Amino acid sequence: MPSYTVTVATGSQWFAGTDDYIYLSLVGSAGCSEKHLLDKPFYNDFERGAVDSYNVVVDDELGDIQLIRIEKRKYWLHDDWYLKYITLKTPCGDYIEFPCYRWISGESEIVLRDGRAKLACDDQIHILKQHRRKELETRQKEYRWMEWNPGFPLSIDAKCHKDLPRDIQFDSEKGVDFVLNYSKAMENLFINRFMHMFQSSWSDFADFEKIFLRISNTISEQVMNHWQEDLMFGYQFLNGCNPVLIQRCVKLPENLPVTTEMVECSLERQLTLEQEVELGNIFIVDFKLLDGIDVNKTDPCTLQFLAAPICLLYKNLANKIVPIAIQLNQVPGDENPIFLPSDAKSDWLLAKIWVRSCDFHIHQTITHLLRTHLVSEVFGIALYRQLPAVHPIFKLLVAHVRFTVAINTKAREQLICKYGLFDKARGMDNTEDIPYYFYRDDGLLVWEAIRAFTAEVVDIYYESDQVVEGDQELQDFVKDVYMYGMRGKKASGFPESIKTKEKLSEYLTVVIFTASAQHAAVNFGQYDWYSWIPNAPPTMRAPPPKVKGVVTIEQIVDMLPDRGRSCWHLGAVWALSQFQDNELFLGMYPEEHFIETPVKEAMARFRKKLDTIVSVIAERNNKKKLPYYYLSPDRIPNSVAI
């Protein structure tokens, strides 16, 4: 009688093993087998990290194996089981791989196809078409869209982490419990004694050192030592936590009535301000998004204030970016003066602090939360709803949405109870003209490596543009992202459909870059740039000044966050800047969803390009006082998971 060798791999994460009964059935072109209990006498099967082999004898020839069915039935207490993969050795000696990488919960069953990636048009056999359809029908019931807040992209329909489908939950909730992580941060930073000192102001700037963990030769120490300097202020718009707002000023805004006479002491080329604009030496950061926003009222004991500044910057003869004018609100007038470097030191310092505080808010809500976390969640939900596990695009992207929905759900539960990422329209693309924009330089290297990789994968599975356009599952995925995630808004920059291989490669590059590199660039530098509280205050406790010449340094210190809020802020940015245990970085694909040699070779070339980028960045950073390493591929996690 025909005999098959079945090899079963159990996951190595915590609680991956099971004591339940596991049954296997084989579905072939010539018939189906009985279900077989996978069990070895006097042996503890399916332990965490185990790879177990079993001999399965069937009564009749089954033909080509098309599917395998796994059933889990309770032995004593219900426990979940994480099945990595099953390998089948056929009677004729062939090996068939069945990737799974899923949790099997309770008393349930899953049906697996072999690991070859297939488009829907490749499936001609009825049972495979039916399996494909049923998988998506089941997933669409589990992965439902929900409006979290009006105007935001739709999110997963789950109130808390335990409501999520098991396959996208964290392996262990403890690792992502924000309250627990904050507590760890407080202990590591030795700031517990200040935690409950709300409404208690610091005495001066130096007093903030009581909660500052000084580590020599680090970016955070450089920030503490130089945060008041104009060069440090300008540098952060290029390479700080929020390097995406600055753009070249092509015309002075009408609501910023700045003149050459006001800023002539800052201009080094003996030209008028208008001439400097024409030469491309003037840059602008406009925080108009904050205009009219209600302030946070979560703490009734502390009044908090916002501004909506316009900051004008100048590229000096050393090609460094420095601020030359700041207006703290959008409507010009006598009570909204333009602050200048020639003003009193305290006036100019306060204006810069206001800009840095507003930059913090835009960074956290727009650049970080909206444009990486929430957008990546949209990709993840649409992926599970519209692409079956056998689809090559699912196999490509699943590693890049790992834990993203889970981290966002935990954030909603505990914390917050256009298309091209290097848009040339911002005028920031010239490397000779703006030579110290490392976020741009490194980002473009990583972008190109991802683009080349996705283009290779697309070429393997799509023979022509017509195949792309005719892939209904792909089109449903793209439409789900557009209609539900982006709320059907053309201004989002996302397409309703994709009709060419080139556009598909670009789309996949956006998905992967957003979830990996872009998130790394705006997340993991938070402790570096935000741990010195005066450099980026998370709140201001007095309104923006309406006149010049009256504020004192003591008043500025009183406007900054109190001791308690400073500590909570410090704990948050420390926790957010840490990598996860067993982090998977860009180019790592330990879950082998792809089994085909051409894709594995493309992955190897991708990793080689990433290794080259690591070396280029390391050489550039050598001996720099302010190294830029957030986009070094060995520091870019595969997905948004923190």
pLDDT at position 459 is: 98
pLDDT at position 327 is: 98
3-state secondary structure of 599: helix
414-447 tens-digit pLDDT = 544 433 334 465 789 888 889 999 999 999 999 9
The region, left, alpha or beta by phi > 0 then psi within -120 to 50, assigned to residue 46 is left
Show the tokens assigned to 617.
């960045």
The region, left, alpha or beta by phi > 0 then psi within -120 to 50, assigned to residue 70 is beta
pLDDT at position 149 is: 82
Q: Angle at the Cα of 239 (from 237 to 242), degrees rounded to 5? A: 55
Show the tokens assigned to 180.
């627990």
Show the tokens assigned to 313.
């910057």
pLDDT at position 113 is: 96
Q: Are 76 and 36 in contact (CB under 8 A)?
A: no
Please state, in angstroms and as integers, the Cα–Cα distance from residue 611 to each residue in 397, 589, 608, following that order: 21, 15, 5
Q: Are 638 and 400 in contact (CB under 8 A)?
A: yes
357-409 tens-digit pLDDT = 999 999 999 999 888 988 999 999 999 999 999 999 999 999 999 878 777 67
**Which own/partner contact pairs does 409-417 have at CB distance under 8 Å and 24+ positions apart?**
409/155, 409/156, 409/158, 409/160, 409/161, 409/163, 409/164, 410/161, 410/170, 410/176, 410/177, 410/178, 411/178, 411/373, 412/148, 412/155, 413/159, 413/160, 413/161, 414/177, 414/178, 414/179, 415/178, 416/369
Tell me whether strands 155-156 and 247-248 are parallel, antiparallel or unpaired.
unpaired
DSSP 483: I
Please state, in angstroms and as integers, the Cα–Cα distance from residue 415 to each residue in 179, 357, 402, 404, 411, following that order: 9, 20, 20, 15, 5
| Distant-in-sequence, close-in-space partners of 393: CB < 8 Å, separation ≥ 6 | 383, 387, 474, 477, 508
* Distance separating alpha carbons of residues 23 and 281, to the nearest angstrom: 70
Tell me how long the chain is: 642
pLDDT at position 326 is: 98
What's the pTM value of the predicted model, to 2 decimals? Answer: 0.93
Mean pLDDT by groups of 10 residues along the chain of 642 residues: 95 92 96 94 93 94 96 89 97 96 94 97 96 97 90 88 85 54 58 54 82 73 95 98 97 97 97 97 97 74 89 97 98 97 98 98 92 91 97 96 74 48 67 92 97 98 98 97 90 91 95 95 95 94 96 95 84 84 91 96 98 98 93 95 78
| Distant-in-sequence, close-in-space partners of 611: CB < 8 Å, separation ≥ 6 | 633
Q: Are 152 and 489 in contact (CB under 8 A)?
A: no
Q: Are 305 and 515 in contact (CB under 8 A)?
A: no
Instruction: Report the 10 Å Cβ neighbour count for 463.
Output: 10
DSSP 480: H
